[in-house]
Amino acid sequence: MALIDYKCEKCGSSFFEIVKSSDEEIKCPKCGSESTKRIYKGKFYGKGGGCSGGSCQGCSGCGS
C-alpha cells in the first residue's frame, strides 16, 4: 500500500489516498468526481540526480 497525493480536475481539491494498486479508481472526497490526477511533491520528486542502484549523485535524500 502507498500514500499517494491527488488533485481533482473538477473542483481543484488536493487530497491523499492510501492505495493498494495502481489501477485503483480514486474519487475526490469533496465532489465525488473520478477525474483525479496524481501529483508528485516532496523531496523525492525534485530536479536532478538521485540515488539508485547504490550510486549516489549527491542528492539530499540520503545524506551523502
pLDDT of 14 > 60? The answer is yes
Q: How many domains does the chain have?
A: 1
Which residues form the domain of 32?
1-64
Mean local confidence (pLDDT), 29-49: 80
Whether 12 and 35 have beta carbons less than 8 Å apart is answered as no
- CB atoms under 10 Å from CB of 24, counted, come to 10
> What is the maximum alpha-carbon separation in the chain?
44
Whether 61 and 44 have beta carbons less than 8 Å apart is answered as yes
pTM, full prediction: 0.61
